[in-house]
Structure 1
Amino acid sequence: MADDLPRRATRQDFDQTAPSTSTLEDIARARESARIPRINIDAFCDSPDVASVIENAARDRLMSRTRVDVHMGGVSAAVEHYRQTSTPNLVIIESRSEGNLYIADLDRLAEVCDPGTRVLAIGHANDIVLYRELIKRGVSEYLLAPVNPVSLIASISSIYGENRSSKLGQTYAFVGAKGGVGSSTLAHNVAWTIARQLGSDVMIADLDLPFGTASLDFNLDTGPGISEAIQDTGRLDDVLLDRLLTQCGDHLNLLSAPTDLEKPYDLHENAIEPLIDVAQSSIPFTVLDLPHMWTSWARNVLVAADEIVITAAPDLANLRNAKNMINVLRQVRPHDPPPKLVLNQVGMPKRPEIKPKEFAKAVQLEPITCIGFEAQLFGTAANKGQMIAEVSSKGAAPKSFGEIADILTGRKDAKRSQKKALRLGSLLGMMKRGSGSVRK
């Protein structure tokens, strides 16, 4: 156990037995910027409940780069284990001991820990004196049981300094429930809208390597783009990424697909991960335009994304596929919000459709917006290589793209808070004027 560890704890009062709503909201916001490096973690638990929480946390997308082994037996089992093997990057210890007994247990553990190993302690004693004593001894963090997976992940991120004060770039993955439902068109228009509304840099990564349409939608020539970015990930950094990008307009850049059919594109399951890491470190918003497929790499990209947007048309095949995708993603991302659902091509003439309410009931998820079928508008934009709002800024479609952009970037919540503050200010003004008239 490293004695010179910096204090990474962020809570003065670590009582988590009954967390307030604001505390849970703070933890949820911390997930947005949490990043955990490639580390090995061993956990030694005294209770099945804590062991279950750690196993649950290990399945979270933010822990995808870690290896976690969970053991029972607490401190005694850990000490015995590390007499025979080296310690990992992080050891999580749960103990029911209190006060000096807990400190003595961790002193025994320190004797068998390698230099540089960090320790996260979980205890059952709500004792600030114990907490401070543990921190003095080099323990990186102390959590009071019962713990939950989200707070545990936040603590691990804090220990390794990966929870940055400046927010990491966000990744939004767009995928269709079926081919031809307009997921790429939606992704490109939402990315263009974010760049225009926020004035922040946005990158579109066209991940449909053989048949991507992003370069056509922006009337650009294809370049090496994404094929070179994933060809040699060891060379990929923000400088190389910037060189591979093609500018689409103010604050908007494209990492285009090669659309070259001379070779197949069989990617390994983690092929896109380095690209996402580099993009997040230097670009505020990355829009991932995924093809309609269910390969290991495509699934991993969806699981790793900050937000997922599923585009579906209102028919039976789309309903079935969307329901299956939503159910799987809810299972593998238990601590993240569910995917966002968009119903597209609604109201196509002479086509029988499933009504949005019935669609939402079947998939157990309300669509964030429904986009009407406008063949003339969308066809004109596609043939001219323009965005929908460039062809016609009026109408329902550009408004829907703006709503989606606001929801993904959090501007919708900010607007709601601003309106609430304005209403409150107006009410207080009326109260002051009213009280003034009474004094008169």
Structure 2
Amino acid sequence: MIKNAHLLGQPQDGSQTAAPTALPSDEHIAPAPRVSVQAFCDTVETAAAVQSAGEDRRLAKAHVKIQMGGAAAAVEAYRMSPTPNVIIIEADGRGDAIIGRLDQLAEVCDAGTRVIVIGRINDVTLYRELTRRGVSDYLIAPVSTLDVVRSVCGLFHSPEAKPVGRIIAVVGAKGGVGASTVAHNIAWAIARDLNLDSVVTDLDLAFGTAGLDYNQDPPQGIADAVFSPDRIDTAFVDRLLSKCTDHLSLLAAPATLDRVYDFGAEAFDAILDSMRASIPCVVLDVPHIWSGWTRRLLISADEILIVAGPDLANLRNAKNMVDLLRAARPNDHPPHYCLNQIGVPKRPEIAPADFAKALEDQPLTVIPFEPQLFGTAANNGQMIAEVAANHKTADLFRQMAQVLTGRAEAKRGRQSLLGKLLKRAG
């Protein structure tokens, strides 16, 4: 929804340019969450304003990248790569030229990406056309630092704004099938290859391995949050996170047995609501137990991945979980599943085709048995992509990361709200 204070009430003939507005002394701009912002500018002045905005305290958590070339450069950049959370386009041209470039951008724009347009045309007709195409905000150049800060932050803090975060829950159909390893490697791929700020949440409080897999030993973690629900807010969650890479953080499990971890069904609601509001992607490493809170987490997640081994117990459990989750989430995409540790020498296995027939869906991927590769990564506290970046298994994790974040489907024929509204406007 466009909330441009510069445009309404201004002349429509394009002869005047609105001056940048100063920040009123009583105006509060809430900080932006951990999002990626990419700007494509036509002029040095706009690039400088965006650069200055990226250094503002309210965008301290956002990753801001600037390129020159305007809308044409944006269209070219996203033909073969995923789009970020926010795209800022400077369109230095007439109204029909701006619309034409946005039509091209709609063809390559991922679902969920929000677009801010900076133009020099002060025209209500253009404003309405941009609104119909799903543009989030329209600013009239020249823009100031605070114009950019206000626009980006307003996308995530207006009453109509949807939460920025996507919750991906990964769970094993049976203990020991490698669900935690899969979850940690997918999170690594989301952060490294898709450049999305992500958090891995290790929910196996007694025996979690995320700290070991990422070679981290944080003093605080998920236990501090779940046992202090009244203290949970964005600042509190930030203090609990352990930084693994520029885009990846860890909310670790204590992995100690000095207390028992019995929780009610709603124990993790507050912490997940806080993370969903400020973090683009949260990967939940759900332990293989069946309780009120694990059931609630799986049903409420945006995407679900069930990791199964190729035996009868895994097949039965995976089918039970898929059937329950399909019934509980009739309006959502069915849960994904993948087969892990396939091809163990001399071990009888149930074929992927039999899984597909029983679960009425093809596996998201089939991960081969690679004891040397996975053993080396586990013992060194590394991810598969760190041990062997070009290995086919590392590529499997990248593919799963794209699907679970909605990027792979968009690549095959991707179209965001921008594109859908464009077709509807037709």
Assess, with a 3 A threshold, how the Cα gap between structure 1 residues 357 and 162 changes in structure 2: closer, same or farther. farther
Aligned counterpart for 1:379 among listed residues 372, 375, 382: 375
Pairing of 1:32-43 with structure 2 (within 5 A): none
Letter in 2 for 1:283: I
Q: Distance in 2 between matches of 1:399 and 1:213?
A: 23
Q: Distance in 2 between matches of 1:243 and 1:224?
A: 8
In structure 2, the partner of 1:389 is: 385
In structure 2, the partner of 1:320 is: 316
Q: Distance in 2 between matches of 1:217 and 1:343?
A: 21
Assess, with a 3 A threshold, how the Cα gap between structure 1 residues 268 and 167 changes in structure 2: closer, same or farther. closer
**Conserved? CA contact 1:223–1:256, under 8 Å:** no
Letter in 1 for 2:264: H
Q: Distance in 2 between matches of 1:173 and 1:164?
A: 26
Letter in 1 for 2:177: V
**Conserved? CA contact 2:200–2:283, under 8 Å:** yes
Q: Distance in 1 between matches of 2:311 and 2:326?
A: 22
**CA deviation digits over 1:348-396, x for unaligned, max 9?**
1111000100111112221011000000000000000000010001222
In structure 1, the partner of 2:165 is: 169
Pairing of 1:238-277 with structure 2 (within 5 A): 238-277=234-273
Letter in 2 for 1:371: I
**Conserved? CA contact 2:326–2:334, under 8 Å:** yes
Q: Distance in 2 between matches of 1:303 and 1:167?
A: 18
**Conserved? CA contact 1:222–1:257, under 8 Å:** no
Aligned counterpart for 2:399 among listed residues 399, 403, 420: 403
Letter in 2 for 1:223: P
In structure 2, the partner of 1:331 is: 327
Pairing of 1:1-40 with structure 2 (within 5 A): none
In structure 1, the partner of 2:291 is: 295
**Conserved? CA contact 2:163–2:277, under 8 Å:** no
**Superposition deviation, residue 266 in structure 1:** 0.3
Between the two proteins, the alignment pairs up a number of residues equal to 259
**Conserved? CA contact 2:166–2:302, under 8 Å:** yes
**Superposition deviation, residue 198 in structure 1:** 2.1
Letter in 2 for 1:376: Q
Q: TM-score with structure 1 length normalisation?
A: 0.57
Q: Distance in 1 between matches of 2:255 and 2:160?
A: 37
Q: Distance in 2 between matches of 1:292 and 1:360?
A: 22
Letter in 2 for 1:396: K
In structure 2, the partner of 1:233 is: 229
**Superposition deviation, residue 165 in structure 1:** 4.2
Assess, with a 3 A threshold, how the Cα gap between structure 1 residues 337 and 274 changes in structure 2: closer, same or farther. same
Letter in 1 for 2:276: Q
Q: Distance in 2 between matches of 1:411 and 1:262?
A: 42
Pairing of 1:66-215 with structure 2 (within 5 A): 164-165=160-161, 168-215=164-211
2:412 paired with 1:416: yes
Q: TM-score with structure 2 length normalisation?
A: 0.59
Q: Which runs of 4+ in 1 moved over 6 A?
A: none
Q: Distance in 1 between matches of 2:219 and 2:339?
A: 32
Q: Distance in 2 between matches of 1:348 and 1:316?
A: 15
2:339 paired with 1:343: yes
Structure with the bigger percentage of helix:
1
Q: Distance in 2 between matches of 1:178 and 1:222?
A: 28
**Conserved? CA contact 1:377–1:388, under 8 Å:** yes
Determine helix, strand or coil for the equivalent of 1:249: coil
Q: Distance in 2 between matches of 1:362 and 1:413?
A: 24
**CA deviation digits over 1:208-229, x for unaligned, max 9?**
0000000000111142200011
Q: Distance in 2 between matches of 1:412 and 1:284?
A: 17
**Conserved? CA contact 2:221–2:253, under 8 Å:** yes
